[in-house]
């Protein structure tokens, strides 16, 4: 028989065991594994990919020429002003920095906004665009008198569904994108809007639709406004890319301003992540256009009550930067120019991607690439093609084949277009990864023309690809064009004044070397232009600069497009400007001996500043990227690359004009507009923009329809004006470079 003491001990032990067991089981043991984010998950997969030539086009962030994060100069200046002001770190208040919210409202609704003048706009700072959506969704759920459902387009930004669902709203969809035409399903959209229950809340992308890049025209927006008014629907605008669509912040805000002018009350979400590059600062705003100033006060009070338990007060640093950019007149003008430059650069990237895909021999229709707008593009690739690109080509895009046009370094060259081309036209074919040969020291001297694959003799490996895309086709298909690295030796016996290169017999375009390069130990390394099996286009006039006493590889290999990577510097190498040689296709000449060794920026810019055809501020930004103020090889390569590009484009325009091909003329105008804008060639750019609009059967402003015959006549006149101005620009820039 157990004693009471022994029973007590035993019961105590059992309780201890139970308690230990309870402590061993985590409170979160049954939390399920969630799926990866549809967009940000691509970055994680990209980081995990070990492929040497992997490319990530999945996450929407603007990049510079090297694929690095880019901070706008106006933003840098504004931040310096904020820091120099030595401001405190006190709370801004629930609705944020007043100077910022006021400026954000003016940017969206316009300086002449009647709603602002009548004090009918309730606005609060938000945690970027996502925070604005969350505030707006919660406000609709609490106070909208109709159904608690919001209708979003198909497709829409991946986060829209999650944000609104977490607000307690039911999310339904309406037709927007036509996968067959890779364009707007306008008829389907209008039909669905008409079929919605009276007084529905409808989400509309104000500009640069994410993820398709397909926007309605202004006339279509007017029709959408009429349909919304007839149905008594409430417009809920998401404007995350103001300025990124057309390069004009006013034009991109047209839908919002038109709806207000038609008597709509509406909600608006703004983000400054893209158009100011303030991704990590999380700067945004949410506003509601009310019926009266009295109603605005009541809405303001409820917005504060809603925000208080969410995050209490928004951060101030990013808002102060944005406020400075928007409220400082000089900085604001600079920023507007930078936004225009980024938008034009994206337009350029679209044209380059389409052009490169076509030059690779693709039979697929890629016209939707240039008809879409903004950072996003629906390629039309299928899910299985996307999987192949990610797994075999190390090219990461978002779901449904959407790349972001964010930087020049991939889409403007052959790597990404080559890989997309293989999927767009090569379904069912097998492609394998090939090793890359990029180390010039691996190449040995050349004694004759290659007889096998380009570059095979140089490194002894026929399977290597020399500085090319990572894809090699199966033997059944010829591989796409690629650049090649070779090592050239000077010919020992000069002919006349120059010596032919031993590889000259291999290419239609002959490369020459100066006769002073006769010793076998003297050699140069040259990256040849892109070439195919049958020809080597002479699209690089300037290939290499060498000092005859210091034969070193030029720090920047040539490119076959306007936007190559910025050159690396050559530390410790000092050159005498008067004894440099210029190695060019078809000919080689020595720089004039009386060329001054050193030139000041002021003297060099005198030619440019005296010209009304070139924006000196934009051109100065190009010059600032030169490593050496003497030879200016980086800016020179961009300028001369533009010359080659312009000559080719003018020829194509002449042919398109003869063929009365307005669509082609519009595309060519679009393409050359972006190139000329990058250099600040304002008159050429403006003329090309007119041709782009005429090609769409619109007037020069792009707003009024014109008959075809008149558009063709206008293009002929405008093309003549552009050429006349281009001749002046070319002469001025060549004088600048002493050529």
Given a contact cutoff of 8 angstroms between Cβ atoms, the answer to whether 507 and 480 are in contact is: no
Burial 227-238 (b: 16+ CB within 10 A, else e): bbeebebbbbbb
The catalytic position among 157, 221, 335, 517 is 157
Please tell me the predicted confidence (pLDDT) of residue 198. Answer: 95
- Give the whole-angstrom CA distance, residue 270 versus residue 242: 8
Give how far the C-alpha of residue 82 lies from the chain's centroid of Cα atoms, to the nearest Å: 28
Q: Is 38 left (phi over 0), alpha (psi -120 to 50) or beta?
A: alpha
Given a contact cutoff of 8 angstroms between Cβ atoms, the answer to whether 392 and 422 are in contact is: no
The catalytic position among 192, 215, 274, 431 is 274
Respond yes or no: is residue 274 known to be catalytic. Answer: yes
Entry pTM:
0.53
73-335 has CATH 3.40.718.10 classification: no
Given a contact cutoff of 8 angstroms between Cβ atoms, the answer to whether 279 and 273 are in contact is: yes
* Residue 558: closest CA among 586, 527, 532: 527
Given a contact cutoff of 8 angstroms between Cβ atoms, the answer to whether 468 and 482 are in contact is: yes
Please tell me the predicted confidence (pLDDT) of residue 159. Answer: 92
Q: Domain limits of the chain?
A: 73-335, 473-597, 599-739
| Torsion on CA atoms 679, 680, 682, 686, rounded to nearest 10 | 60
Please tell me the predicted confidence (pLDDT) of residue 457. Answer: 31
Strand, coil or helix: 56: strand
How many helices and strands in the chain, by DSSP H and E? 26, 22
Main-chain phi, psi angles of 6, to 5 degrees = -70, -40
- Give the whole-angstrom CA distance, residue 559 versus residue 574: 24
The catalytic position among 185, 215, 238, 252 is 238
Q: Which CATH number fits domain 599-739: 3.40.1160.10, 1.20.120.160, 1.10.10.60, 3.30.70.270?
A: 1.20.120.160
Given a contact cutoff of 8 angstroms between Cβ atoms, the answer to whether 722 and 687 are in contact is: yes
Q: Is 467 left (phi over 0), alpha (psi -120 to 50) or beta?
A: left
DSSP letters spanning 670-733 = HHHHHHHHHHT-HHHHHHHHHHHHHTTTB-TTSSSB--HHHHHHHHHHHHHHHHHHHHHHHHHH
* Residue 526: closest CA among 450, 449, 466, 587: 466
At 564-609, the pLDDT tens digits run 222 333 333 333 322 222 232 222 333 333 333 334 445 445 556 5
CB atoms within 10 A of CB 718: 20
User: How high is the mean pLDDT in each 10-residue block of the chain (739 residues)?
Assistant: 47 52 74 72 56 50 66 93 94 96 98 96 97 98 93 93 95 93 92 97 95 92 98 97 90 97 98 93 98 96 94 96 96 91 74 70 63 58 57 46 40 42 36 25 27 32 28 28 31 34 32 37 32 29 31 34 30 30 30 37 54 72 67 77 86 92 89 80 88 91 89 93 88 76
Please tell me the predicted confidence (pLDDT) of residue 486. Answer: 30
Please tell me the predicted confidence (pLDDT) of residue 223. Answer: 97
Given a contact cutoff of 8 angstroms between Cβ atoms, the answer to whether 435 and 467 are in contact is: no
Distances (CA, A) of 503 to 438, 484, 494: 20, 13, 15
């Amino acid at each position: 028989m157990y004693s009471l003491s022994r029973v007590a001990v035993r019961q105590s032990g059992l309780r201890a065991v139970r308690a230990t067991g309870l402590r061993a089981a985590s409170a979160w043991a049954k939390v399920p594994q969630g799926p990866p984010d549809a967009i940000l998950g691509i970055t994680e997969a990209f980081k995990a990919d070990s492929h040497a030539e992997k490319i990530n086009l999945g996450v929407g962030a603007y990049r510079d020429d090297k694929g690095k994060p880019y901070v706008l100069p106006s933003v840098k200046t504004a931040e310096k002003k904020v820091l120099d002001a030595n401001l405190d770190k006190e709370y801004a208040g629930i609705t944020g920095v007043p100077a910022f919210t006021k400026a954000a409202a003016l940017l969206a609704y316009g300086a002449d906004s009647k709603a602002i003048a009548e004090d009918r706009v309730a606005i609060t700072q938000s945690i970027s665009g996502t925070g604005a959506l969350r505030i707006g969704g919660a406000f609709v759920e609490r106070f909208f008198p109709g159904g608690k459902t919001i209708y979003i387009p198909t497709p829409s930004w991946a986060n829209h569904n999650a944000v609104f669902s977490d607000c307690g709203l039911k999310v339904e969809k309406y037709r927007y994108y036509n996968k067959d035409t890779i364009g707007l399903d306008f008829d389907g959209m209008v039909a669905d809007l008409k079929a919605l229950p009276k007084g529905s809340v409808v989400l509309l992308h104000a500009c640069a639709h994410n993820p398709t890049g397909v926007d309605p025209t202004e006339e279509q927006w007017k029709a959408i406004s009429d349909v919304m008014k007839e149905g008594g629907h409430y417009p809920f605008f998401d404007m995350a890319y103001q300025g990124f669509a057309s390069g004009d912040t006013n034009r991109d805000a047209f839908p919002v301003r038109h709806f207000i002018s038609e008597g709509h009350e509406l909600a608006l979400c703004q983000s400054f992540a893209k158009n100011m590059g303030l991704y990590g600062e999380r700067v945004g705003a949410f506003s509601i256009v009310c019926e009266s100033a009295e109603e605005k006060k009541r809405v303001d009070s409820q917005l504060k009550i809603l925000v208080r338990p969410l995050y209490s007060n928004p951060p101030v640093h990013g808002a102060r930067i944005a406020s400075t950019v928007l409220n400082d007149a000089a900085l604001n003008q600079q920023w507007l120019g930078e936004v225009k430059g980024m938008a034009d650069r994206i337009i350029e990237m679209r044209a380059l991607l389409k052009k490169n895909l076509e030059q690779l021999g693709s039979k697929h229709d890629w016209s939707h690439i240039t008809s879409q707008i903004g950072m996003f593009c629906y390629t039309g690739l299928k899910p299985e093609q996307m999987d192949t690109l990610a797994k075999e080509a190390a090219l990461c895009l978002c779901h449904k084949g959407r790349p972001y046009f964010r930087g020049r370094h991939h889409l403007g060259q052959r790597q990404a277009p080559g890989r997309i081309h293989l999927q767009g036209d090569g379904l069912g074919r097998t492609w394998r990864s090939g090793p890359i040969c990029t180390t010039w020291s691996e190449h040995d001297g050349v004694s004759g023309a290659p007889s096998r694959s380009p570059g095979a003799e140089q490194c002894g490996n026929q399977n290597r690809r020399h500085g090319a895309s990572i894809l090699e086709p199966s033997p059944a298909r010829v591989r796409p064009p690629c650049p090649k690295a070779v090592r050239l030796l000077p010919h020992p016996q000069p002919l006349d004044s120059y010596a032919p290169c031993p590889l000259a017999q291999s290419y239609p375009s002959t490369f020459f070397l100066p006769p002073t390069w006769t010793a076998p130990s003297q050699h140069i390394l040259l990256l040849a232009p892109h070439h195919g099996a049958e020809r080597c286009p002479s699209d690089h006039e300037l290939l290499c600069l060498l000092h005859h006493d210091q034969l070193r590889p030029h720090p920047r290999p040539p490119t076959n497009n306007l936007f190559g990577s910025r050159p690396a510097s050559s530390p410790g190498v000092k050159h005498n400007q008067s004894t440099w040689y210029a190695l060019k296709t078809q000919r080689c000449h020595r720089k004039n001996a009386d060329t001054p060794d050193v030139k000041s920026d002021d003297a060099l810019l005198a030619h440019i500043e005296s010209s009304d055809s070139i924006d000196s501020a934009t051109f100065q930004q190009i010059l600032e990227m030169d490593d050496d103020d003497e030879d200016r090889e980086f800016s020179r390569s961009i300028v001369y690359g533009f010359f080659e590009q312009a000559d080719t484009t003018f020829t194509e325009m002449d042919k398109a004009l003869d063929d009365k091909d307005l669509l082609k003329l519009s595309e060519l105008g679009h393409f050359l507009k972006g190139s000329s804008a990058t250099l600040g060639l304002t008159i050429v750019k403006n003329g090309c923009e007119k041709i782009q609009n005429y090609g769409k059967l619109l007037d020069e402003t792009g707003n009024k329809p014109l008959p075809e015959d008149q558009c063709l006549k206008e293009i002929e006149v405008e093309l003549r004006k552009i050429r006349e101005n281009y001749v002046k620009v070319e002469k001025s820039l060549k004088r600048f470079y002493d050529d």
